Structure 1
Amino acid sequence: MKLSKRILRSTFFQNLIARLISSYIALVRSTVRWQEIIPDETRKYLEGDSNIIGCFWHARMIMMFNAWKGSDRSKFHMLISAHRDGRVIAKSIENLGFNTVEGSSRRGGATALVNLKRTLDKGGAIGITPDGPKGPRMRAKTGAIKAAQMTGRPILPVTGTVARRKVFNSWDRFVLPAPFTKGVIIWGTPIYVERHASRDQQEHYRLELEDQLNKLTQMADRSFGQNLIHPDPLPAPKAATSLNQAPEISDANT
């Protein structure tokens, strides 16, 4: 086994990396001069019980913790993979006072849906990266739609950026915000999924989520005159799958 993998499997180094990540997120949260744009129909959920499904692209994850204004951070639960990298991210999030829900788009998608439903039924809020953990970039999977269908809770698209940032050449074009700059958080309008939505209707809602997130993200980037980050090209159509196949649930594993 390579030394680097041994180090990453070490609980001590996982905790150290998690502490560094959470400290940086806290620095960004406290030093960036944030502007928030919230439609009226969305504000009522954020100022009420906040029992919602928040969706944002994987690349914007660090900035999204500023979007949660609730005084009780424990109500917010981020969907995280059980993979090693996911555990580091989970520890980072928990260091900030938030909670996590374990699930994966590739393993145990049905189990992740059950965990999400339990959290929402208890009054919590869920954060999902619908293009995670490996893409395609800025293309939504169906997990958030299924969660909204099962629970009756609205999906709220949200995105953001900052004036000074580093964009990595990763699959998602991950955005690392700089501290001590200006930033913007932009919320979309609620997406309500019918309890008995057909597959065609589910696809309609999925496209609505993807379209809202991409338009909001371009709006945010244009507000600071930044180069736009575009979605991956649409994948080739897949062969027909079993009707009993579990839906893909996206998570924040990098």
Structure 2
Amino acid sequence: MKLSKRVLRSALFQNFAARLISSYITLVRSTTRWQESMSEETRHYLEHESNIIGCFWHARMIMMFHAWKHSDRSRFHMLISAHRDGRVIAKSIENLGFKTVEGSSRRGGASALVTLKRTLDKGGAIGVTPDGPKGPRMRAKNGAIKAAQMTGRPILPVTGSVSNRKLFNSWDRFFLPLPFSRGTILWGTPILVERDASKEKLELYRQQLEQQLNELTAEADLTFGHSPIHPEPTGKQANART
């Protein structure tokens, strides 16, 4: 194994990287002038129950730690991929007082879904990036919908944007908020999935989640004059662009 790979995999490096990330998130959160918008129904779930499935795009992850301020952080569990980068992110999240659940749609997805159900059944809340960990960008997978079906808990779409940012040319167009900005957090309307929903109905819920997140994200970016980021083309859309 090359020296660089050994260093990247070492606990010392991962702890150092996690500390840097969590410190940066704290800096952004504390120096940004935030505003927040949500419906009364969404506010009820956040302030009185807090036993929800929060969904946000992978690229907007950093800003979401400001969104979850309505309840005890230790009740919030973030679904994190099991690969090396996921472990660093998990340590960063834990430094901020949140908990994590390991798994993804690509690796450990079934076991992660069972763990998420147990967390929700015990009154906790979970956070899911439905396009993570590898995309396609801003296209929702089925994990959050299945968790909602199994538990009867609501899905709450949420996103954010800031006036000063760094946009990366990564698969998800990662959105890095810069300190001393103006920021907005936008919550969508709750999505309640029936336990006996058919396969066709589950697909409609998945589309609803994807549409809400994309519309909210475009609205948040336009608030600060940013051009909206478009979802990765799929199927016929992708073929039409080639």
Which TM-score applies when normalising by structure 1? 0.91
Letter in 2 for 1:49: E
Q: Which residue of 1 aligns with 2:68?
A: 68
Q: Which residue of 2 aligns with 1:47?
A: 47
Q: Which residue of 2 aligns with 1:59?
A: 59
Post-superposition shift, 1:70? 2.9
Instruction: Give the whole-Å Cα distance in 2 for the aligned partners of 1:122 and 1:214.
Output: 31
Q: Which residue of 1 aligns with 2:239?
A: none
Q: Taking CA–CA contacts closer than 8 Å with sequence separation of 6 or more, which of the two structures ends up with the larger relative contact order?
A: 1
Q: Does structure 1 residue 224 correspond to structure 2 residue 224?
A: yes
Q: Which runs of 4+ in 1 moved over 6 A?
A: none
Letter in 1 for 2:3: L
Q: Does structure 1 residue 30 correspond to structure 2 residue 30?
A: yes
Q: Does structure 1 residue 86 correspond to structure 2 residue 86?
A: yes
Post-superposition shift, 1:107? 1.8
Partner of 2:48, secondary structure, is coil
Q: Which residue of 2 aligns with 1:129?
A: 129
Unpaired runs of at least 5, structure 2: 237-242
Post-superposition shift, 1:41? 1.2
Post-superposition shift, 1:81? 1.3
Instruction: Give the whole-Å Cα distance in 2 for the aligned partners of 1:54 and 1:111.
Output: 19
Q: Does structure 1 residue 95 correspond to structure 2 residue 127?
A: no
Output one character per residue of 1:77-122: Cα deviation in whole Å (capped at 9) or x when no partner: 0001121111100000000000001112112211111000000011
Unpaired runs of at least 5, structure 1: 237-254
Q: Does structure 1 residue 214 correspond to structure 2 residue 224?
A: no
Instruction: Give the whole-Å Cα distance in 1 for the aligned partners of 2:235 and 2:18.
Output: 34
Instruction: Give the whole-Å Cα distance in 1 for the aligned partners of 2:170 and 2:141.
Output: 19
Structure with the largest fraction of helix: 2
Q: 1:147 to 1:71 in 2, by over 3 A?
A: closer
Partner of 1:66, secondary structure, is helix
Taking only aligned residues, the RMSD between alpha carbons, in angstroms, comes to: 1.1
Q: Does structure 1 residue 233 correspond to structure 2 residue 233?
A: yes
Which TM-score applies when normalising by structure 2? 0.96
Aligned-pair identity (%)? 77
Instruction: Give the whole-Å Cα distance in 2 for the aligned partners of 1:23 and 1:65.
Output: 12
Instruction: Give the whole-Å Cα distance in 1 for the aligned partners of 2:29 and 2:192.
Output: 30
